[in-house]
Structure 1
Amino acid sequence: MSTDTADGTDAPATEPTGGAHDTARGWGPVAAIAGWQTAASACYYSLFAATGLLKPAFDLSGATVGLFLTVGLLGYTLALFPTGALVDGFGERRVMLAGLAGLAVAAVGVSLAPTYGALLAAAALLGAAYSTAMPATNRAIGASAPPGRANLAMGLKQVGVTAGSGLASGVFAAVAATTLVTWVAGFRAVAALGVLAAAGFALVYDGRPGSGRLATPDLRGLGDNRSYVLLVAAGFFLGAAIFAALGYVILYVDEGVGATVALGGLVLGATQVTGSVGRVLAGDLADRLGGAYGAATVTLGQAAAAFVLFGVLAAGVESVLVAGAVLLGIGISVLGSTGVFYSCLAGLVDDEDIGAATAAGQTSINAGGMVAPPAFGFLADTAGYGTAWLLPTACMLAAVVLLAGVRRTA
């Protein structure tokens, strides 16, 4: 049962008991959520940042490094629906605190791994702990964003993903630059960051209570929402393009246009920066257009721009400057689309379903991320990078078609 508030939204008819409080809306809570996302992403993306140090430490091949990363993503994906149910049932605050604690424990577990098998197990646990991120933070943003600024707030929160990834890269770059410490210290440093962030978050964020019961996600109910189904389907193709691009930027700059690995690393870092800018700008524009319709419109525009940019790479680029400029544009477009993607998703479902709905959306993105990179690598090895870039080009075309359907029905 609910009553109408002054701004026309629904509010609970009675206050929940047990010490839970509704989160105040404003940029302060949004900043706290973004800080949580940054710390959580630093812990998870330490798996990617540490590969250069783990490879010699465990005498790994390129394939076993890839398996290590895949296991982390698999643990992340498999745990999404359980954590989504926990968020819907018990509120985001508890899940976010438990998630950071789990990330810290798992990061320490990686640092203690004596064998490759133990390393894989710790990576899976780290990924599972990170599964708390999207369902919980999306619900938190829905509860905390200032009225009419939900898309911008979501974009700012999503910057925490790229900021955390960059922070992890900085930690392990510092470790690699000194002979006084090893990769073990890097994982323990991000674990300490997770503990500190959890303590600070507990002090400043109250959260919104859940339903009070743990239930299996009602995917059948979500399946009746045509706009939501189309958006989740589009997420698969967005994820495929995102992970294919992130996974091969460095190798493409080195092998495809004849530059160096070091320059490729700089380009990859720059795409993360432009991706962050894209998330903020896209969120602000979506707010101006309004609601789920605005978010769908902006996501559609970003996907269309990415389709053109990937097509340029597929047509063949020989200049390092041109390739770099196109990749920066891909950062603003498809890498910068995740914030408005989740804003659109949150606007299409009921508040009590956000956890499960986000879990399905992130699962779709992750599925694309697990399928596309091996296919891209195979095409690059057998037919060249021009042919390989046709894969994300086709993915963006499919995303454009699906997102156009979302926009019509939102």
Structure 2
Amino acid sequence: MVLAVGSAAQAATAAYFLGLAAVTPALRAHFDLDLAGVGLMIGAISVGLVPTLIPWGAAADRFGERGVMAIGLVGSAAALAAAALVPHPLAAGALLMLAGASGASVNAASGRAVMTWFPARSRGLAMAVRQTSVPVGAALAAVALPAVATAGGVPAVFLVLAAVCLLAAVAVAAFVREPPDAPARGSRPAGRMLDVLADRRLQRLSAGGLLLVVPQFLGSVFLVEVLHTGSGMPLAAAGALLALTQVLGAAGRLGNGFWSDRAGSRLRPLRIVAALVAVGFGAAALLQPGPVVLLAVVLVPAAALAISWNGLVFTAAGELAPPGRAATAMAVSNTANYLAAAATPVVGGFVAQVAGWPAMLALGTVAAALALLTLRGLREPGDAGNVTPPVPRRTPGRRHGTVVTGH
């Protein structure tokens, strides 16, 4: 139940983090914006989210995920409902920034719920389910919100999103619980926040994730342009392949989670995925602008693999954390990912415009290869050269942001 509710809460925030892009024409008409203006309005969500991830993570580690997620979701609902009432784009943008800052609580705390409730042998798949809720929530919003905008306009869109967040807050308050042996709410975690921020392993892991976001967003943002504008594929076919890429990427997240549980490692599968992404994007760069069918056969799987790795990094970050600091560690990793996500479309578009689509695809290859180098030799709990992972055990009085090992 904790996993189901946490995943639903993550999908609720993804509905406005990512789903509002589906109603940009309606937003432009309602607020009288140009393309740059609507981009800034939607981007305000990320502006609010990025600087608040780590504070929310620290709060979840100290006070538990239930209260942190519920408060954040109520804040998101209030901001979105208020956005339905304001006519000025600057006011709406400020409220969307507040919604992003509030929704960051779910990004930080829902992963901690997985870390505390699931043992290492099944944690990878559980985290993958939680991570897969992001594209699922975005996809549902992309289907539903245009119809809502047509029927009731932009205010109705914001009110529907607010209602979804409020329902998620109620579910979190009703069903999310701390593990039976968790320390008292408000007690200070054993590990210090400075220990998290100074951890060289977490820094390398976060840098590797940041680099892997580059091919992920190059593939997601520009796949249609590469196939349609760059290679002449019909627009409808290119759009269908983008949808297929997202479905394959979501399935890949689940598969990677299961694989990491079976392997007793998060980083070994992650390094293999990074290598395959580098090879795939490199092959696509060589094929463009060659036969479009062959290009699609190479690029779609490469882009799907580039979507599939997030759960591995997120779980590894929680398992590398000092005692009681899992949410903080995952928030640090997530902050790096969001920074790369903000920069990659701008940089990728510039490279494509100046040097062409092959150069942009090669940028994905370089970033994935650098990620592989960054992750090379990085050790994780249980990765001591054997194939049998330690068996986690619960220890009274300690949180389980890291695995306490025993055999």
Question: How many matched pairs?
Answer: 377
In 2, the alpha carbon distance for the partners of 1:359 and 1:175 equals: 33
The percent identity for this pair of structures is 29
Q: Is the counterpart of residue 289 in structure 1 residue 263 in structure 2?
A: yes
The aligned counterpart of 1:309 is 280
In 2, the alpha carbon distance for the partners of 1:266 and 1:68 equals: 27
Question: SS at 2:186's partner residue?
Answer: coil
The aligned counterpart of 2:330 is 358
Aligned pairs for 1:147-296 within 5 A:
148-175=121-148, 178=150, 180-208=151-179, 212=186, 218-290=192-264, 294-296=265-267
The aligned counterpart of 1:370 is 342
Q: Given residue 66 of structure 2, which amino acid in structure 1 is its aligned partner?
A: R
Q: Given residue 53 of structure 1, which amino acid in structure 2 is its aligned partner?
A: A
Deviates more, 1:80-89 or 1:34-43: 34-43
Query: Is the Cα–Cα contact under 8 Å of residues 43 and 194 in structure 1 kept in the other structure?
Result: no
Q: Given residue 365 of structure 1, which amino acid in structure 2 is its aligned partner?
A: N
In 2, the alpha carbon distance for the partners of 1:143 and 1:305 equals: 32
Q: Given residue 299 of structure 1, which amino acid in structure 2 is its aligned partner?
A: L
The aligned counterpart of 1:322 is 294
Deviates more, 1:245-254 or 1:70-79: 245-254
The aligned counterpart of 1:118 is 91
In 2, the alpha carbon distance for the partners of 1:224 and 1:196 equals: 38
Query: Is the Cα–Cα contact under 8 Å of residues 159 and 276 in structure 1 kept in the other structure?
Result: yes
TM-score, with length taken from structure 2:
0.86
Query: Is the Cα–Cα contact under 8 Å of residues 314 and 334 in structure 2 kept in the other structure?
Result: no
Deviation at 1:192?
1.3
Query: Is the Cα–Cα contact under 8 Å of residues 236 and 368 in structure 1 kept in the other structure?
Result: yes
In 2, the alpha carbon distance for the partners of 1:226 and 1:211 equals: 29
Equivalent of residue 131 in structure 1, options 73, 86, 104: 104
Q: Given residue 47 of structure 2, which amino acid in structure 1 is its aligned partner?
A: L
1:354-398 CA distances to partner (integer Å, 9 max, x unpaired)? 122112111111111122211111111222111111222111111
1:23-82 CA distances to partner (integer Å, 9 max, x unpaired)? xxxxx3222222222222123223322223212333322222332233221211011122
Q: Given residue 301 of structure 1, which amino acid in structure 2 is its aligned partner?
A: I
TM-score, with length taken from structure 1:
0.85
Q: Is the counterpart of residue 385 in structure 1 residue 372 in structure 2?
A: no
For residues 261 and 58 of structure 1, do their structure 2 counterparts lie closer, same or farther at Cα, with a shift above 3 Å needed?
Answer: farther
Deviation at 1:121?
0.7
Deviation at 1:110?
3.0
For residues 144 and 52 of structure 1, do their structure 2 counterparts lie closer, same or farther at Cα, with a shift above 3 Å needed?
Answer: farther
Aligned pairs for 1:39-78 within 5 A:
39-78=12-51
Query: Is the Cα–Cα contact under 8 Å of residues 49 and 169 in structure 1 kept in the other structure?
Result: yes
Deviation at 1:211?
5.9
In 1, the alpha carbon distance for the partners of 2:25 and 2:276 equals: 33
Deviates more, 1:265-274 or 1:381-390: 265-274
Q: Given residue 182 of structure 1, which amino acid in structure 2 is its aligned partner?
A: G
Unaligned ranges ≥5, structure 2 = 384-407
Equivalent of residue 347 in structure 1, options 309, 319, 322: 319
Could you say what the CA RMSD is over the residues aligned between the two structures, in angstroms? 2.3
Query: Is the Cα–Cα contact under 8 Å of residues 43 and 103 in structure 1 kept in the other structure?
Result: no
In 2, the alpha carbon distance for the partners of 1:99 and 1:323 equals: 43
In 2, the alpha carbon distance for the partners of 1:325 and 1:191 equals: 40
Deviation at 1:331?
4.3
In 1, the alpha carbon distance for the partners of 2:27 and 2:238 equals: 21
For residues 408 and 33 of structure 1, do their structure 2 counterparts lie closer, same or farther at Cα, with a shift above 3 Å needed?
Answer: closer
Deviates more, 1:103-112 or 1:281-290: 103-112
For residues 276 and 53 of structure 1, do their structure 2 counterparts lie closer, same or farther at Cα, with a shift above 3 Å needed?
Answer: same
Q: Given residue 212 of structure 1, which amino acid in structure 2 is its aligned partner?
A: G
In 1, the alpha carbon distance for the partners of 2:142 and 2:380 equals: 41
For residues 113 and 274 of structure 1, do their structure 2 counterparts lie closer, same or farther at Cα, with a shift above 3 Å needed?
Answer: farther
Deviates more, 1:221-230 or 1:202-211: 202-211
Deviates more, 1:230-239 or 1:156-165: 230-239
